[in-house]
């Protein structure tokens, strides 16, 4: 049985320019192929595409250390849906994203609330630190009978400036913000993705 966990009220990040504030490094993804484009309702063709970065679409968290370590949870980016509207007069794209994740607890789960860390990034704005924002979402298995749940985070509101009347060259990427240890786990569990990674370690 899969339970659904919905969290909180809508998040709004809004200011002049791209509405992302975290000072983190985003790699240049001008030739990014290692991504899955997801469905966001476009009211105009100028809306930017939204893509799940396949090199960071999964995370494994461990409990314990060394030989005593065991899998506490595994999570994947299940879907990114949303809505987009372009204001040609203001030359902005108003985007609302809804992120959902499938989370499965493993033998190392200690029934303690955990968190997933994921990012929303527009690499076209690199190296401006406004090009990326990270979010935390709580994971709580409230139903003892469900080992797999769907976690739906708050809405994310972006206002993206448009240099021209088109934003097709401004794709939005979503993935997990992985630690070096989490990257190492994935490297040993599945073959590396074929395209370049969205983020530098």
Give the pLDDT confidence of 153-177 residue by residue, as tens digits.
999 998 888 766 555 568 899 999 9
To the nearest whole number, what is the mean pLDDT of the chain? 74
Q: Is 165 helix (H, G, I), strand (E, B) or coil?
A: coil
pLDDT digits 0-9 by tens, 11-26: 443 322 233 322 222 3
d(CA 98, CA 106): 26
Closest CA to 193 of 57, 77, 60, 80: 57
| Token duo for residue 25 | 């490094």
Q: Sheet harboring 172-176: ordered strands across? A: 35-38, 50-53, 172-176, 114-121, 132-139
Residue ranges with strand state E in 54-195 = 58-63, 70-87, 92-105, 114-121, 132-139, 148-152, 156-161, 172-176
Average pLDDT over residues 57-65: 90
Residue ranges of the domains in the chain?
A: 2-27+35-189
Which pLDDT value is given to residue 134? 93
| Cα Dmax for the chain | 60
pLDDT at 9 over 80: no
Strands 70-87 and 92-105: antiparallel
Tell me the percentage of the chain whose pLDDT exceeds 70: 68
pTM of the model: 0.73
d(CA 161, CA 167): 9
pLDDT at 98 over 60: yes
pLDDT at 102 over 80: yes
């Amino acid at each position: 049985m899969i339970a659904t966990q919905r969290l909180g009220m809508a998040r709004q990040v809004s200011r002049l320019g791209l509405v992302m504030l975290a000072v983190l490094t985003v790699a240049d993804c001008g030739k990014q192929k290692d991504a899955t484009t997801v469905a966001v309702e476009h009211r105009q063709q100028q809306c930017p595409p939204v893509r799940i970065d396949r090199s960071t679409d999964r995370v494994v968290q461990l409990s314990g250390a060394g030989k005593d370590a065991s899998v506490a949870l595994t999570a994947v980016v299940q879907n990114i849906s949303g809505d987009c509207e372009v204001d040609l007069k203001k030359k902005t794209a108003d985007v609302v994203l809804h992120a959902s994740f499938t989370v499965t607890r493993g033998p190392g789960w200690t029934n303690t609330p955990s968190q997933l860390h994921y990012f929303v990034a527009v690499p076209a704005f690199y190296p401006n630190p406004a090009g990326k924002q990270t979010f935390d979402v709580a994971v709580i298995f409230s139903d003892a009978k469900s080992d797999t749940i769907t976690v739906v985070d708050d809405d994310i509101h972006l206002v993206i400036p448009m240099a021209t009347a088109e934003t097709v060259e401004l794709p939005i990427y979503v993935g997990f913000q992985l630690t070096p240890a989490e990257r190492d786990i994935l490297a040993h569990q599945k073959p590396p993705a074929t395209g370049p990674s969205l983020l530098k370690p």
